[in-house]
Every structure is written in C-alpha cells, then in structure tokens.
C-alpha cells in the first residue's frame, strides 16, 4: 500500500479494489481503483475520497505523508459513493476549513449524507482558488456523468483531475499509463466509456471542445479510476473524440441468444455472409458473454445484428436484458438487422427490430425468421442476408 508522487508534492493516496467483480451491472473482472489525490501546499488539499470500505487505506496512505488533521480543503469532484463513501468519516477526522464542490455537488452531498453543517464552498466553472504555490481551477462537467461532476485543474502543474472521465476499472500496482501495455489500457478505457459515458457522448464532445477553447495546457490527466495518463494524454483525448463522435470501423457484431441452437446456426451462417464481404465479424452468444463486454464492442461497430428465438410471444430473457441495457446507453447511429427461429407465433424479429428503430438504427428489412430448424436453402438465405449486411457496412467506409 504505497503512495505515489504523481507530480512534485502531489500524491496518489487512493485504494485498490482487487475483488470487485460487478459495478452496478458492469463486469469489473480485473477489479478497480478508487483514486484520491493529496496536494501539499500552504493549503493542503485532498481531491476526492474513496469507497467507504476503503477509508482505512486512504487514511493510512495520507498518514504516511502527513497527519490527516492538517488537511485544509477537501474537493469533491463527484458525489457517487465510490468517491464519497468515505467522506463522512474523513470530515469527522479532518474537520477541513472548506469542502469544495459544485452547486449540484452540495445538493447531492446533502441528499446523501444530510449534513448541513459541513463547510461547503460552492465553485462554478471558471472559479479558481489559490492554495499556495498552486491554484485550482474548476470546470463543471454536468452529466459527465452526474449533475454534480466537475474537473479540477492545476495550471502550475498542467494537471487535470478528471474524476470518472478518462478512467478505467482495472486494479494494478502500476500507477501510470506508460507502465502497462497501452493496448490493454485503452481497451479498459473503451469499456469504461461504453458502459458509463456512452449515453452522454454529445456532452463529452462539447466538454472536449470546452477544454480546447479554454486552452488548458495539460500534460497529465489523473482520473478517479485506473491509471494516470502522462505519456499518452493525446491518445486518450483522441480516443474520447472518436468515441464521442460515434466513429465506427469496418466491423459487425452478431449478438444472439438461443434456445435449441437454430438461432445460433443462423447466427453463424449470417456471420459467414458478412465475412464474405470483407467485413470483420464478432459473434456474441449472450449466454457466455457479459453485456458490458459486448457493449465495449458496440462502441465502434458499424452494424449490430441481433438474433433471438421467440419465447412466450417475446424474446429470450438474455436478449431482453441486453437490449434494455444497450438502449439505456444510447449507442450512436448503427446499421441494424434482426433474425431468429420460432415455433408458431414468431414475434422476436419484430420486437428486436423495434428496439433498434427506437435507437435510431438504420434497419435492414425485412429481418430473417425461420420455423423450428432451418434447412439447407434457409441457411443459404442466412448467408445472403449476411452479405447484404456486409455490403451496407462497407458502404459506410
């Protein structure tokens, strides 16, 4: 449990959660970190805290540098419990002169902890405070991803504390982006974006423009999860630009749920057809793939092809859950298509198509449905259907 000096007199004092495997529906199969940062200056400042269960880690780390009671200010960039759960105990221990947050942050803190006697200091975008040799500028980032969210920026250090933005759920002992393989890091960042921020892509784009218009000179981005960006700041900013602009690649996903393998066989034949057109395909059986991993692939896929048999005049529960999750995350415009087997009523294709229409996908119609078990000629129809999808994906290049 070591602290890490990320810039002169600025320390990572967060906690590593090796065990968490589910983060409100997101599969955190490699754990996560809850990052907090301690700034030593005339006014000693703590940026964010950690999840309640990890308060001892935070206190221990701070104590290895200074006596926690010496902290003057606590900045709350975001009220969600993974960053504020330890706050009540830290407030009791530290009794800071100021608890700095956005206006929405104060409202959220009151609604969470019901403490109206805390020394709230509300800051707005453009406000700055001097803490000695350093100053902290505040940038509200409403709905990225909560109403209270904000960034804190230290111009003297070219350091942006970005809270959830630019983070990843990945527990490591390494603290910097250049200490781990960049591809794996960006993959975790993509998963984070796809499952937490995707529905706010329009606001992410605006915020990136805002950072550019403010002319912030940034050579380090310190998020509240995962690793600190110092060597690949441009890579993560460019990736956010791509993701928020819904930039897609030559890739189709065939996502399916199956009962007696007929829909699965259709999925494979459709994939063959797509591949024959020179398009990359990924098959996801929802029985064995976690929805949050599928969403990571949705992020830059150009086509989403959904398969489910009909069950009880509806779709299989795995597909229903996935569609509900994906619809909530509002992926940008995609090519969509649906298929599935059925016994007698056969509503599944219509239901999946309607979901995709609601998400403003460009649908390839009619979808494909076959009764019970497809025969040889019907598999050929699946391949042809796949070829139509593949051609549409290529036209998007």
Supply the residues annotated as catalytic: 24, 78, 80, 82, 145, 164, 192, 225
Q: Is 148 in the site for ligand FEO (CB under 6 A)?
A: no
**Contacts to ligand FEO from residues 160-189, by CB under 6 A:** 164
For the bound state, the minimum distance from the C-beta of residue 168 to ligand FEO, rounded and expressed in Å, comes to 11
* Rounded Cα gap, residues 363 and 378, in angstroms: 21
For the bound state, the minimum distance from the C-beta of residue 149 to ligand FEO, rounded and expressed in Å, comes to 7
Please choose, from the candidates 36, 62, 31, 64, the residue with its C-alpha nearest in 3D space to the C-alpha of residue 50.
36
Closer residue to ligand FEO, CB minimum distance, 255 or 329:
329
25: phi > 0 → left, psi -120 to 50 → alpha, else beta; which? left
283: which strand partners?
254
172 Cβ neighbours under 8 A, 6+ residues apart: 16, 33, 179, 180, 226, 227
Q: Is 225 in the site for ligand FEO (CB under 6 A)?
A: yes
Selected range binding ligand FEO among 59-67, 80-88, 151-159, 336-344, rule: CB under 6 A: 80-88
Closer residue to ligand FEO, CB minimum distance, 37 or 284:
37
CA angle 51, 187, 390 (to 5 degrees): 135
Q: Is 82 in the site for ligand FEO (CB under 6 A)?
A: yes
* Rounded Cα gap, residues 331 and 195, in angstroms: 10
For the bound state, the minimum distance from the C-beta of residue 81 to ligand FEO, rounded and expressed in Å, comes to 8
Query: Considering only residues 7, 43, 51, 78, which one is a binding residue for ligand FEO as defined by CB under 6 A?
Result: 78
Closer residue to ligand FEO, CB minimum distance, 146 or 325:
146
* Rounded Cα gap, residues 188 and 229, in angstroms: 13
215 Cβ neighbours under 8 A, 6+ residues apart: none
Closer residue to ligand FEO, CB minimum distance, 14 or 367:
14
* Rounded Cα gap, residues 269 and 263, in angstroms: 10
Binding mask 238-277 for ligand FEO (x = CB under 6 A): ----------------------------------------
For the bound state, the minimum distance from the C-beta of residue 228 to ligand FEO, rounded and expressed in Å, comes to 15
Q: Is there a cis peptide before residue 169, judged by omega within 30 degrees of 0? A: no
DSSP 199: G
Residues that bind ligand FEO (CB under 6 A): 78, 80, 82-83, 145-146, 164, 224-225
């Amino acid at each position: 449990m070591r602290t890490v000096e990320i810039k002169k007199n600025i320390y990572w004092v967060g906690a590593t959660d090796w065990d968490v495997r589910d983060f409100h529906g997101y599969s955190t199969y490699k754990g996560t970190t809850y990052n907090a940062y301690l700034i030593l200056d005339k006014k000693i400042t703590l940026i964010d805290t950690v999840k309640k269960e990890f308060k001892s880690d935070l206190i221990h780390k701070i104590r290895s540098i200074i006596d926690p009671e010496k902290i003057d200010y606590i900045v709350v960039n975001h009220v969600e419990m993974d960053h504020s759960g330890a706050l009540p105990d830290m407030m009791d221990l530290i009794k800071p002169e100021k608890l700095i947050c956005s206006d929405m942050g104060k409202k959220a803190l009151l609604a969470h902890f019901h403490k109206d006697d805390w020394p709230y200091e509300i800051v707005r975008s453009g406000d700055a405070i001097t803490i000695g040799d350093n100053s902290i500028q505040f940038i509200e980032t409403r709905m990225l991803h909560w109403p209270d969210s904000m960034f804190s920026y230290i111009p003297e250090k070219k350091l942006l504390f970005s809270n959830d933005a630019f983070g990843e759920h990945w527990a490591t002992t390494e603290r910097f982006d250049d200490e781990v393989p960049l591809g794996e890091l960006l993959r975790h960042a993509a998963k984070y974006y796809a499952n937490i921020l995707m529905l706010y892509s329009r606001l992410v784009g605006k915020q990136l423009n805002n950072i550019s218009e403010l002319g912030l000179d940034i050579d380090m981005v310190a998020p509240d999860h995962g690793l600190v960006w110092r060597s690949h700041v441009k890579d993560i900013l460019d990736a956010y630009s791509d993701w928020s602009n819904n930039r897609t690649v030559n890739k189709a996903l065939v996502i399916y749920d199956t009962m007696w393998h007929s829909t699965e066989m259709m999925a494979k034949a459709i994939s063959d057809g797509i591949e024959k057109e020179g398009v990359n395909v990924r098959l996801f059986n929802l029985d064995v793939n976690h929805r949050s991993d599928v969403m990571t692939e949705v992020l830059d896929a150009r086509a989403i092809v959904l398969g489910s048999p009909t069950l009880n005049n509806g779709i299989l529960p795995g597909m229903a859950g996935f569609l509900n999750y994906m619809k909530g995350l509002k992926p940008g415009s995609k090519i969509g298509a649906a298929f599935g087997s059925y016994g007698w009523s056969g509503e599944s294709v219509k239901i999946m198509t309607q979901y995709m229409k609601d998400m403003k996908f460009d649908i390839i119609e009619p979808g494909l449905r076959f009764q019970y078990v497809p025969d040889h000629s019907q598999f050929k129809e699946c391949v042809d259907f796949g070829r139509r999808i593949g051609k549409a994906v290529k036209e998007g290049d």
